[in-house]
């Protein structure tokens, strides 16, 4: 039986602002610019937008954005939790609304002054005792205040267990940096990376070096989701949503799931894989390219295993074979990713997924039929499969 959400909706428009280290404008302005760009990309007036979905971490509320862009009456407004884990979750909420007739044209957005404004990993403090604050308080008194420190604990265990080397992480960083060379939006455009540079880069949270970390970026990105039917009448080739899911597993914590049986796999990503393959009726062999969430290089290697592109512990072998490169088995993060293009919390990777389906990536592989996009790693997450119409 076909899944209810399969093929019901499509990405009809993508919109980006300029990416920089200092935007000089408000986050609301970035969100509005990205939204307008997504509408123009689709050929739809902003007054046709009747739904907005964003991240709980986003400072721009839905109605502020609606007034700014002159949207119509809103039938859907919601935000998804857990940082970058929200990324494709925003698409799921939009698809559910579109497929059920709750809303017609939904904008998913993320806009952040991620470098010049509130930076990630600056720690938390406050007087209110929420369950979330109590969670972080098991780590922050010990000086674990940054995403790198939380992820390194899992990365180290994984690397030790499977013999993953610093060079393997470097290969991921270099592959994505190579893609950045043909993408003018990319922060690292014109700045290639050698293995020597990689290995010489500053150790931050052992085993993670500077170039294992994503960017900090000022910028916005918006994705316009509408019905597959309507998308066919708009001006871009639709990226049909074959499957989209959220996933959080037993024992899940935000970033620090240290108390589950296994420390060297990503159970929530394996769950996302199972669900998204089930919904789409597709499997790893049907996926031609990917945008695997890459706040850190180690996460990319682990996800190759989670999504069944190889067996447990074989992610490093795929990387060594060049699988992630343009002529490899699974060209990955062809925009440069969060590591080399920009860190818009994964929203920019959904935009790249749509480009890959349209055939308009700045590093477009041959014959892309289906693209896999994932949300944040180490947090409640999700997965999305886009397909050519």
Partner 1 sequence: MTQSFRMKPPMGEDNGWWWQQAAEGNLAIQRCTACSTLRHPPRPMCGECQSLEWDHVVASGRGTLDSFTILHHPQFPGFDYPLIIILVQLEEGTRITSQLINCSEDTVEFGMPVEMVMHEDPDGFRLPMFQPVRGANA
Residues annotated as catalytic (active site), given as ranges: 293, 343
Q: Where does residue 70 fall: left (phi above 0), alpha (psi -120 to 50 degrees), or beta otherwise? A: left
DSSP conformational letter for 3: -
Interface stretch with partner 1, choices 72-80, 142-150, 268-276, 293-301 (CB under 8 A):
142-150
Among 56, 118, 160, 360, binds partner 1 (CB under 8 A): 160
Q: Does 100 bind partner 1 (CB under 8 A)?
A: no
Closer to partner 1 by Cβ: residue 185 or 209: 209
Strand-pair partners of 385 = 243, 372
Closer to partner 1 by Cβ: residue 99 or 140? 140
| 120 is an interface residue for partner 1 by CB under 8 A | no
Note whether 147 and 84 are within 8 A (CB): no
Query: Is residue 143 close enough to count as binding partner 1 by CB under 8 A?
Result: yes
* Distance from C-alpha of 191 to C-alpha of 268, rounded to nearest angstrom: 34
d(CA 26, CA 65): 12
Please give the angle made by the CA atoms of 207, 212 and 217, to the nearest 5 degrees: 140
Question: Do 78 and 61 form a contact (C-beta atoms < 8 A)?
Answer: no
We find the least distance from the C-beta atom of residue 158 to partner 1, in angstroms, to be: 9
Q: Which residue has the tokens 């964003």?
A: 54
Choose which of 101, 128, 184, 367 interacts with partner 1 (CB under 8 A): 128
Structure token pair of residue 35: 């939204």
Q: Under 8 Å CB-to-CB from 147, ≥6 apart: which residues? A: 120, 121, 255, 295, 296
By the rule CB under 8 A, 125 interacts with partner 1: yes
Q: Which of 26, 79, 139, 308 binds partner 1 (CB under 8 A)?
A: 139
Rounded Cα distance, 172 and 16, in Å: 25
Closer Cβ to partner 1, 4 or 138, answer by number: 138
Q: Which stretch binds partner 1 (CB under 8 A): 188-196, 256-264, 318-326, 342-350?
A: 256-264
Binding to partner 1, residues 259-288 (CB under 8 A): 259, 263
| Residues with Cβ within 8 Å of residue 346, at least 6 apart in sequence | 84, 86, 87, 88, 110, 293, 338, 373, 375, 376
236 or 298, CB closer to partner 1? 298
Among positions 105, 256, 362, 381, the unique one binding partner 1 when judged by CB under 8 A? 256
Token pair in block for residue 341: 């293009």
Q: Which is nearer to partner 1, 161 or 237 (CB)?
A: 161
Q: With CB under 8 A, what is the number of residues at the site for partner 1?
A: 41
- Is residue 126 at the binding interface for partner 1, with CB under 8 A as the rule? yes
Binding to partner 1, residues 176-205 (CB under 8 A): 202-205
- Read off the DSSP letter of residue 48: G
Instruction: Give me the residues that bind partner 1 (CB under 8 A), please.
Output: 123-129, 131, 133-135, 137-146, 149, 152-157, 160, 202-208, 250, 256, 258-259, 263
């Amino acid at each position: 039986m076909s899944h209810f959400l399969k093929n019901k909706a499509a990405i009809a428009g993508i919109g980006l602002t300029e990416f920089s280290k200092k935007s000089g404008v408000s986050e609301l302005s970035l969100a509005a610019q990205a939204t307008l760009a997504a509408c123009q990309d689709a050929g739809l007036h902003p007054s046709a937008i009747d739904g907005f979905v964003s991240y709980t971490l986003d400072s721009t509320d839905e109605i502020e954005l609606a007034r700014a862009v002159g949207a119509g009456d809103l039938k859907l407004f919601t935000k998804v939790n857990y940082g970058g884990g929200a990324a494709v979750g925003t698409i799921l909420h939009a698809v559910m609304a579109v497929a059920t007739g709750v809303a017609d044209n939904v904008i998913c957005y993320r806009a952040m002054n991620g470098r010049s404004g509130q930076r990630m990993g600056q720690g938390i403090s406050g007087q209110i005792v929420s369950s979330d604050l109590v969670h972080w308080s098991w780590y922050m008194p010990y000086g674990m205040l940054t995403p790198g420190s939380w992820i390194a604990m899992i990365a180290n265990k994984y690397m030790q267990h499977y013999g993953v080397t610093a060079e393997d992480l470097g290969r991921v960083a270099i592959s994505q940096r190579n893609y950045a060379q043909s993408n003018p939006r990319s922060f690292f455009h014109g700045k290639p990376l050698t293995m020597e540079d990689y290995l010489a880069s500053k150790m931050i949270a052992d085993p993670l070096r500077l170039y294992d970390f994503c960017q900090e970026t000022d910028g916005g990105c918006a994705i316009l989701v509408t019905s597959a039917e309507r998308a066919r009448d708009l001006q871009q080739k639709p990226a049909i949503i074959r499957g989209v899911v959220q996933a959080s597993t037993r024992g899940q914590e935000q970033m620090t799931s240290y108390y589950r049986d296994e420390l060297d796999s990503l159970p929530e990503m394996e769950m996302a894989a199972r669900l998204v393959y089930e919904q789409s009726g597709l499997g790893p062999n049907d996926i031609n390219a990917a945008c695997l969430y890459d706040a850190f290089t180690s996460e990319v290697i682990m996800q190759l295993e989670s999504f069944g592109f190889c067996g447990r512990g074989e992610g490093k072998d795929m990387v060594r074979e060049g699988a992630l490169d343009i002529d490899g088995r699974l060209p990955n993060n062809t925009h440069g990713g969060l590591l080399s293009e920009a860190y818009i919390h994964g929203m920019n990777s959904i935009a790249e997924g749509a480009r890959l389906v349209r055939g308009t990536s700045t590093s477009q592989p041959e014959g892309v039929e289906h693209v896999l996009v994932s949300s944040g790693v180490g947090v409640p997450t999700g997965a999305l499969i886009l397909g050519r119409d």
